[in-house]
Structure 1
Amino acid sequence: MADASSLPVPAEEPPPTARQQTIALVDDDRNILTTLSIGLHAEGFATRLYADGETALKALLENPPDLAIFDVKMPRMDGLDLLQALRAHSRLPVIFLTSKDEELDEALGLAMGADDYIAKPFSQRLLVARIRAILRRSDLARAQPDAPSQANLPEPVVRGRLRLDPARHQVTWDGKPVSLTVTEFLILEALAQRPGVVKSRNQLMDAAYSDDVYVDDRTIDSHIKRLRRKLRAVDSEFSAIDTLYGAGYSFFDAT
């Protein structure tokens, strides 16, 4: 198997500028790595290429990129194992590449903290649109105020035992911190803004994804399952997110 140093990156690639965002690509298929890298360079991104999960994990933790794209099926350490190991230390945005017959892997990946998945074959335009949407949300979540009195910052949302701080991307339940991805945070925020009001899957998609990104119902359902699992990790009796079958989801102002 080729290691990262033998992969066909463009020769004499200039170092990324301060404003150039970097995408890490992890796949044991050289052709996919080369094709994706060339396409992302054309869109203004810098890329780092890794041929296996073990090599990628060390590099991602030591020198994090802006976003990573993992193939699910890889030897030595597959994409799911790589994501699990990464999530123990980092909330780096991650997109999975899957085959259409890997529905279980897609659901597992979302449950473990992936931000999105794309089924092969896919268009370069779709991939770039999803990358840009996730990076926009990630940049917003990382933004910190210059001073406590800075104007125009969103106010924290407090609903009973739930507190969301959009300016700092922080969530607590009963005062206990809950670690959420950007997509999870936006979905929970959309539900908590209007307690008791049922939000359809389409409305939650609009809240969590930009207009140029398509996701199906199963993606939203997977995010909701993961939200419940994370909140139940700090409160085993958490039940504030309700399902109205055929209509959508709602948040009840728990006290």
Structure 2
Amino acid sequence: MNSMEHGSRSSSEDAKGYRALVVDDEVPLAEIVASYLQREQFEAIVADNGIEAIAVAREFDPDVVILDLGLPGIDGLEVCRQLRTFSDAYVVMLTARDAEIDTVLGLTVGADDYITKPFSPRELVARIRAMLRRPRVLQTTAAAAPEQQPAPPRQFGSLSIDVDAREVLLDQGPILLTRTEFDILEALSGRPGIVLSRRQLLEIVRDGPWVGNEHLVDVHIGHLRRKLGDDAAQPRYITTVRGVGYRMGTGQ
């Protein structure tokens, strides 16, 4: 049986409103999370299984999906894989298991963050807000100042990064990145030659202090390198500085 709770449309009409899909077979927990999100002017929907979550996401087009790893039937990893075929929503994975393998597996299928049960709904909402804030600020700024000339794309050899359009081209062909992947690439490319630590990258991307596993950056960097055809051993674009972090090269 479907278990869905719709947030008040009137509250979500706020200019700062976002859409959130909460997916957990522990329905009371999911409804608590949804209620906290609704208080923050989100429009929130609850789904209690993976099949329902995918169907709802296609119609609801959420900005963020809070996704339990241990769903019955289609688990959170498979839901995330399928979401990534049609949605660029942020995905926060919920897990009752604190094993690192769960975190890494979740991120390799496109999750942007994770939080371990039990957790504070207030903390979860705060992390979601920080996650959403930066892309929305960029969009708002562009809309508020249409007369401002767009910045030229950043060039690194055959790699072109258009920050205003949030578009990446490699050898003139488009490269599809998740929001987090693009934000990390933007942070590095905006400071070429400068080493940024994992924490610095996370705080730039999240637009605030980071509390959690800093090595989440490594997974996203790995995704970026694969999509850019960048060899970590002989990098053209992103160089690892051992014990410190990453820096953007000049391209070849």
Global fold match (TM > 0.5): yes
Query: Of 72, 75, 80, which residue of structure 1 is paired with 2:77?
Result: 80
CA distance in 1, matches of 2:209, 2:198: 16
Q: 1:194 to 1:109 in 2, by over 3 A?
A: same
Q: Is the 8 A contact 1:110 1:222 kept in 2?
A: yes
Tell me the amino acid that sits aligned with residue 161 of structure 1. Answer: S
How many residues align? The count is: 246
CA RMSD of aligned residues (A): 2.6
Q: Which moved more, 1:102-111 or 1:77-86?
A: 102-111
Q: Note the C-alpha offset of 1:145.
A: 5.3
CA distance in 1, matches of 2:250, 2:130: 30
Q: 1:221 to 1:159 in 2, by over 3 A?
A: same
Q: Is the 8 A contact 2:203 2:209 kept in 1?
A: no
Aligned pair 1:205/2:202, yes or no? yes
Identify unmatched segments of 5+ residues in structure 1.
Answer: none
Give runs of ≥4 in structure 1 deviating > 4 Å. Answer: 140-146
Query: Of 8, 11, 14, which residue of structure 2 is paired with 1:14?
Result: 8
> Hey, what does 1:240 align to over in structure 2?
237
Task: Kindly provide the CA deviation profile for residues 177-216 of structure 1, in whole angstroms up to 9, marking residues without a partner as x.
Answer: 1111222112112222233332222221222112244232
Q: How does 1:117-128 map to 2 (within 5 A)?
A: 117-128=114-125
Query: Of 221, 246, 250, which residue of structure 2 is paired with 1:249?
Result: 246
SS of the equivalent of 1:217 reads coil
CA distance in 2, matches of 1:35, 1:18: 21
CA distance in 1, matches of 2:201, 2:209: 15
CA distance in 2, matches of 1:197, 1:36: 39
Q: 1:142 to 1:66 in 2, by over 3 A?
A: same
Q: Note the C-alpha offset of 1:23.
A: 1.1
Q: How does 1:224-235 map to 2 (within 5 A)?
A: 224-232=221-229
Q: TM-score, normalised by structure 1?
A: 0.85
SS of the equivalent of 2:196 reads coil
Q: 1:141 to 1:108 in 2, by over 3 A?
A: farther
> Hey, what does 2:49 align to over in structure 1?
52
CA distance in 1, matches of 2:166, 2:137: 9
Q: TM-score, normalised by structure 2?
A: 0.86
Identify unmatched segments of 5+ residues in structure 2.
Answer: none
> Hey, what does 1:139 align to over in structure 2?
136
